[in-house]
Amino acid sequence: MEAAQSNRPLAEWMTEHQMKAPELADAVNDAVAQLTGGTGSTSERTVFRWLSGKTRWPQERQRLALEVVTGLPISHLGFVPRGKPSENAPAQPEEGSDVHRRQFLGAAASTAAAAIPIAPPASARPHQVGTADVIRLREGIARLVALDDERGGHGLEGVALAGAAEALDLQGRSATQRVRQRLFALATDYTAQAAWSRIDAGQLNGVEAHLERALTLAGLAQDSERAMQVWNLRAMLARQQYAYPEAVASAQAAQATTVARRSPLHASLAHARTAVCFAHSGQTRPALRHLGRAEEYLGKAELVQPRASWIAFYGPAELYSLTAIVRDEVGHPAEAEAASHQALAALAPSYRRNRAHTTARLALAQLHQGDIEQACETSGQVFTIMAGTTLPGRMRQLIGDFQRDLIASAPAAIAHAWTDQYRTQWSGS
């Protein structure tokens, strides 16, 4: 935010719902229009004045519209009537405000009644789509991301595609151009989530079609961030298909997006993904160079700022995890082990799938240093972390890499014992 956030309740609500000042201003104006039939006058500057505390008690129409948009009483959004000594005190009606409220709602009801014919024809104007629909669809994406963090993205493809279809279906109704672009962005997000579901499941057929569709939708949304989201997934897909030149090119396309040029956080992820792709293609120097750039950019990023749900996972823990992959792939297993430990220490408890994946990478790094007993013990922790949940296909493939390297480097008895111990959990998880 550009303004100081002395109104923390409102700022926290905006952060939770990934809503920036221009979006909230539009939502309030939409609500005023729906309630009164008139035009709202809330601007981005108005919202910044609310956030900074310069305006402690918005106009009556704005207060009611805020309650409609957020679903919360105005007193829960950090606002207090003029003359109240404390921002935290519960808001009480101004003298005469009950009269104003009744007049406002009465006018709104009269406007609505006048606008609705007694027997509306079949060709009546479709329902207006507004910010409330956008918020609802965003919350659906947030739930999918939370499931992905907990158990992996596999199995979520159908739900994600249904969300994309709903966002596109709403395009057939009356909406402002800004809302239409948000709906296209949400359709991109859902479609990309469907692609990720297949990637995480290790089912790569069909992913390309989802990504092509998502890139088209991102263009319709005129949304650079969603375009980067798609290029990031394309890089991951190509790497898993061993198409390393395409993987590098896709990661570099992510770097070239407008959002990556403007946002250090996005630039860091794009460079980290490029480093991983170079490392897998056997190009050590460019891999380490891009890894260094990723670290530089992350050091400049504002990690507490609101961000889209698809990139909520990225921060120091994820960069440590990607560093471990790069270091192990270029033949630096000791550095990979150190980075894995740093990643595990920094990971939030909610990222269970990422914790299991990083633990598997740690086991590989230990194995590549010849610490066979420790590696076997560490690899077993993966099954403990994911207990009760089916292992994503991508994770099973990583465990398969561990078994292959274990057979190649450990005494046969140890390799056989490990396989016998974990065969059921690995293949049947």
Instruction: Give the 3-state secondary structure of 15-46.
Output: HHCCCCHHHHHHHHHHHHHHHHCCCCCCCHHH
Q: For tokens 């990971």, what's the residue?
A: 347
Q: What is the pTM of this model?
A: 0.77
Residues near 134 by beta carbon (within 8 Å), at least 6 away in sequence: 179, 182, 183, 186
Report yes or no: 323 and 278 within 8 Å, Cβ to Cβ.
no
Tell me what pLDDT residue 103 has: 47
Domain boundary (24, 50, 81) is at 81
Report yes or no: 188 and 217 within 8 Å, Cβ to Cβ.
yes
Cα of 206 vs its chain's centroid, Å: 22
Q: If you average pLDDT over residues 264-285, what whole number do you get?
A: 97
For 1-35, write each residue's pLDDT tens digit.
Answer: 444 558 888 888 887 777 788 878 887 887 777 66
In a domain, residue 48? The reply is yes
Domain boundary (81, 108, 126) is at 81
Of 72-81, 112-121, 187-196, the one with minimum mean pLDDT is 112-121
Structural tokens at position 147? 């499931």
Q: If you average pLDDT over residues 119-123, what whole number do you get?
A: 37
Tell me what pLDDT residue 99 has: 47
Of 27-31, 200-204, 307-311, 332-336, the one with minimum mean pLDDT is 27-31
Domain boundary (44, 65, 81) is at 81
In a domain, residue 362? The reply is yes
What is the C-alpha separation between 340 and 334, in angstroms, rounded? 10
Report yes or no: 202 and 390 within 8 Å, Cβ to Cβ.
no
Given a cut of 90, is residue 333 above it in pLDDT? yes
Q: If you average pLDDT over residues 167-175, what whole number do you get?
A: 90
Q: Is 381 helix (H, G, I), strand (E, B) or coil?
A: helix
Of 145-159, 221-235, 238-252, 372-386, the one with minimum mean pLDDT is 145-159
Task: Please report which residue ranges of 170-283 form alpha helices under DSSP H.
Answer: 177-200, 207-221, 224-240, 244-256, 258-262, 264-280
**In this predicted model, which residue has the larger pLDDT, 383 or 88?**
383
Tell me what pLDDT residue 253 has: 97
Tell me what pLDDT residue 24 has: 84
Q: What is the CATH number of the domain that holds 45?
A: 1.10.260
In a domain, residue 93? The reply is no
Q: What are 174's strand-pairing partners?
A: 128
Question: 23 is in which domain, residue-wise?
Answer: 1-81
Tell me what pLDDT residue 359 has: 97
In a domain, residue 315? The reply is no
In a domain, residue 35? The reply is yes
- Work out the widest C-alpha separation in the chain, in whole angstroms: 85
Q: What does the buried/exposed string (b/e) look like for 202-219 if buried means 16 or more CB atoms within 10 Å of the residue's CB? A: bebeebeebbebbbebbe
Given a cut of 60, is residue 53 above it in pLDDT? yes
Q: How far is CA 333 from CA 189, 357, 363, in A?
A: 36, 16, 10
What's the total number of domains in the chain?
A: 2
**In this predicted model, which residue has the larger pLDDT, 162 or 111?**
162
| DSSP string over 95-115 | TTHHHHHHHHHHHHHHHHHHH
Cβ burial of 287 (10 Å; 0-12, 13-18, 19+) is buried
Average per-residue pLDDT in the chain?
Answer: 85
Structural tokens at position 400? 């398969």
| Dihedral angle computed from the Cα positions of residues 21, 23, 27 and 29, in that order, rounded to the nearest 10 degrees | 70
SS3 content of the chain, % helix, strand, coil (to 5): 70, 0, 30
For 89-117, write each residue's pLDDT tens digit.
Answer: 444 444 444 444 444 444 444 443 333 33
